[in-house]
Every structure is written in C-alpha cells, then in structure tokens.
C-alpha cells in the first residue's frame, strides 16, 4: 500500500485479552511512543480460530479492555470482531478499516508468539500488503538485546522490530492464578492486571473453576 509521511499513522493491537494485563498495556504504550501513533485500535478477537479453548464472553473481554487501556489516551477499544459472526480474521478487519478510514497508514503490532504464527494466518500475504508489521521483542536489555532475541526466530515476512521492556505476565498464568486463589485473588492479581480489571474479574467471578480456562 502506498504510504507517505503525511498520512496519519494508526496502530492495531489484536488479541484474546482474556484478560488484558500489564504486558498488553506496556506493549500499547511502547507502540504509541516509538511509532508516533495517533491512534491505537485495540481489537479483542471474536472467535479465535487459532485458540483451542473457548474464550470468555466478548462482553467481559471488551469491558476489561476498556478498563485496562484507559491509561493510554491514544488507545481506542474497537468491538468490530466481537460483532462479526464466524472466525475473526485480521485480513477482514484490515479491509474494513481501510474502507472506513482511507488515507491512514496501518501498523500491525504483534508479539513474538503471534509473529511465529503469522505465516499461518488467513491470507497473511494480503495483510502485509495493507499493514506494516511491527514485532514487539521483549528484551530485558536495550534494543540491541531485543534484536538478538528475535534473530533466533526465522520470520519469513517483512517486519520491523519494536523493542520493549520485558513484562513477564501472560493471560494463561493469570487465569490459573485466579482459579487457584479465588475468591481472594483480587489483591494478588492486581499487580498483573491493574486494580480495575482485578475488581472486574472478582465482581463477575471470571476464571473461577474453569478447567478449560487455563490452557492456551
Ligand atoms: P494467553 O496466555 O491466553 O495465550 P496472552 O497473554 O499471550 O494470552 P493475547 O491476548 O493472546 O495474550 O495477546 C495479545 C498480544 O499481546 C499478542 O500479540 C501477544 O504476543 C502480546 N503479548 C502477550 N503477553 C505479552 C507481554 N507480557 N508483553 C508483551 N506483549 C505481550
């Protein structure tokens, strides 16, 4: 896609966000700052074709995203994939966005685990025609350490590196922690998801006693 420096630069950060956590928020903040994004669309997936476990209800993941990303002014939580029936394909989302917002430069922000699978995504070559892909490399050191980490993974598509400070947290670990500690998990998971999301999880009894909720 043709791009020029005067086109507004918008990012897209998709995920299950089940639940959203401090790693996702750090990724959003890093992307906004490093890439000079005017807007970052945070898009919870509807039916995740690549995840084997059933996700929590879309309404909960949407509400938690709104709470989690409230601290990033450029972030806008977008529910289009939750509204769509059928599997959530990024390429469909990008086509819709291009039609709605012509003249925008699209930057797709993905983590390392998604980067390793991007070549299996539906019409992934079309995605690369529409958006520039930025792979967040979680490094404990500075940018060069991040580059080194990614070099161990062969990525067979054009991409840029987005170095970010490592935040060791995953939604899988949070679901497991809630299941193990509920109903007293609110305090212990606050540091991982922030107090607002921790309160939401407790209020709606999410992830308690859900065996299926633990596997990825
Ligand atoms: P799960 O543990 O259920 O697989 P997750 O924590 O990886 O979930 P997702 O919703 O699948 O969360 O991830 C959305 C995006 O955020 C992906 O691109 C993923 O690589 C990235 N991501 C996940 N955890 C982190 C983290 N700690 N730091 C930076 N990026 C992350």
Residues of the chain with pLDDT under 70: 1-5, 48-52, 139-154, 182-186, 210-216
Q: What is the pLDDT of residue 216?
A: 39
Long-range contacts of 138-144 (CB under 8 A, 24+ apart): 138/23, 138/111, 138/112, 138/164, 138/165, 138/166, 138/167, 139/163, 139/164, 139/165, 139/166, 140/165, 140/166
Q: What is the pLDDT of residue 138?
A: 75
- Sketch the domain layout of the chain as residue ranges: 9-168, 169-204
Using CA positions, which residue lies closest to atom 14 of ligand 1?
15
pTM of the model: 0.90
Query: Ligand 1 pocket test: which of 11, 12, 15 has the largest number of ligand atoms within 8 Å of its C-beta?
Result: 15
Second CATH level (architecture) for the domain 9-168: 3-Layer(aba) Sandwich (3.40)
Using CA positions, which residue lies closest to atom 21 of ligand 1?
111
């Amino acid at each position: 896609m043709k791009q020029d420096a005067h086109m507004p630069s918008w990012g897209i950060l998709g995920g299950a966000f089940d639940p959203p956590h401090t790693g996702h928020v750090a990724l959003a903040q890093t992307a906004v700052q490093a890439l000079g994004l005017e807007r970052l669309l945070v898009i919870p997936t509807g039916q995740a074709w690549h995840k084997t476990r059933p996700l929590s209800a879309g309404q909960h993941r949407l509400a938690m995203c709104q709470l989690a990303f409230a601290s990033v002014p450029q972030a806008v939580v977008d529910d289009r994939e939750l509204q769509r029936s059928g599997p959530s394909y990024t390429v469909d989302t990008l086509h819709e966005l291009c039609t709605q917002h012509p003249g925008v430069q699209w930057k797709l922000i993905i983590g390392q685990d998604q980067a390793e699978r991007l070549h299996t995504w539906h019409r992934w070559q079309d995605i690369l025609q529409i958006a520039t892909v930025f792979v967040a490399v979680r490094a404990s050191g500075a940018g060069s350490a991040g580059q080194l980490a990614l070099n161990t993974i062969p990525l067979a598509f054009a991409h840029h590196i987005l170095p970010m400070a490592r935040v060791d947290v995953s939604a899988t670990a949070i679901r497991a922690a809630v299941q193990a500690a509920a109903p007293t998990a609110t305090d212990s998971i606050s540091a991982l998801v922030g107090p607002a999301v921790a309160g939401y999880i407790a209020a709606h009894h999410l992830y308690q006693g859900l065996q299926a909720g633990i596997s990825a």
